[in-house]
């Protein structure tokens, strides 16, 4: 097992928060080892308990494990850069969400927000279990829809690569150079008391 860098080794917060929030990050180096079915399902179990508007739970996760017949179709969706490092993932996931409520067919304004919450629960559970969980936007959304035979009322949100951590030497030089926890905007940049002043 390679050295598992914790975010708190390179990240500092202005205020005291639980280490989990800064320890979690999105590595790209994975070992190519498989996960057991239970290891993978445990992450979806965490996602299942995320909050959502009306408790509608609009998320639906589609997955392919690396040895399964579905892997090539999922792998093909990604841009070349993401393929270059996810080739060592144990599972690829496409996150989708239902854009209209099941109970009345009306637009579910927060379906993407809810799916994002579920992703974060999955990511934190993965971190706690010592797994790489890395979200991706770099894939073909239309191809994902047709590959999954996704009904019209669902929206493709993102993909996720999941795997056992690997040695950074498995990455190409440029990607290895980025293999470290990133920083964040300041609180002052993202939090505003009251409305913005008129321009
Ligand atoms: C929705 C979403 C899409 C992302 N898309 C990609 C991607 O296509 N390729 C990639 O290498 N990283 C991708 N990332 C990873 C982000 O770059 C990363 O989460 C961000 O830099 C913050 O770093 P951290 O997760 O290590 O804290 C994505 C993350 C999210 C949440």
> What are the backbone dihedrals phi and psi of residue 109, each rounded to the nearest 5 degrees, phi first?
-50, -35
Question: Is the distance from the beta carbon of residue 126 to the nearest atom of ligand 1 less than 6 Å?
Answer: no
24 occurs within a structural domain: no
Helices (H), 76-131: 80-86, 111-128
190 occurs within a structural domain: no
Question: What CATH number has the domain bearing residue 93?
Answer: 3.40.109.10
78 occurs within a structural domain: yes
Least Cα distance to 128 among 46, 41, 32 occurs for 46
Question: Is the distance from the beta carbon of residue 26 to the nearest atom of ligand 1 less than 6 Å?
Answer: yes
Q: Which residues contact 68 (CB under 8 A, 6 or more apart)?
A: none
pLDDT digit string (tens) for 32-61?
A: 999 999 999 999 999 999 999 999 999 999
Chain Cα centroid distance, residue 63: 12
Position in ligand 1 atom list of the atom nearest CA 134: 15
Position in ligand 1 atom list of the atom nearest CA 85: 11
60 occurs within a structural domain: yes
Least Cα distance to 77 among 99, 92, 67 occurs for 92
How far, in Å, from the CA of 179 to the mean position of ligand 1?
12
Q: Which domain holds residue 73?
A: 34-168
Supply the pLDDT for residue 49: 98
How far, in Å, from the CA of 134 to the mean position of ligand 1?
6
Report how far residue 23's alpha carbon sits from residue 21's, in angstroms, rounded to the nearest whole number.
Answer: 6
68 occurs within a structural domain: yes
> What are the backbone dihedrals phi and psi of residue 131, each rounded to the nearest 5 degrees, phi first?
-110, 155
With a cut of 90, say whether residue 198 has pLDDT above it. no
The pTM of the full predicted model, rounded to 2 decimals, is 0.97
pLDDT digit string (tens) for 113-151?
A: 999 999 999 999 999 999 999 999 999 999 999 999 999
């Amino acid at each position: 097992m390679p050295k598992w860098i914790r975010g708190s080794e390179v990240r500092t917060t202005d205020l005291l928060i639980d280490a989990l929030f800064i320890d979690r990050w999105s590595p790209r180096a994975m070992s190519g080892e498989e996960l057991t079915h239970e290891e993978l399902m445990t992450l979806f179990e965490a996602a299942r308990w995320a909050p959502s508007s009306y408790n509608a739970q609009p998320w639906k996760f589609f997955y392919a494990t690396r040895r399964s017949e579905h892997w090539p179709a999922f792998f093909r969706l990604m841009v070349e850069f993401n393929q270059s490092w996810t080739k060592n993932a144990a599972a690829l996931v496409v996150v989708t969400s239902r854009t209209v409520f099941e109970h009345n067919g009306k637009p579910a304004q927060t379906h993407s927000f809810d799916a994002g919450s579920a992703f974060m629960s999955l990511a934190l559970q993965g971190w706690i279990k010592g797994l790489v969980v890395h979200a991706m936007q770099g894939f073909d959304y239309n191809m994902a829809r047709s590959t999954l035979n996704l009904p019209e009322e669902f929206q493709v949100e993102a993909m996720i690569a999941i795997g056992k951590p690997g040695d950074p030497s498995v990455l190409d030089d440029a990607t290895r150079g980025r293999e470290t926890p990133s920083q964040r905007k300041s609180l002052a940049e993202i939090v505003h008391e009251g409305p913005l002043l008129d321009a």
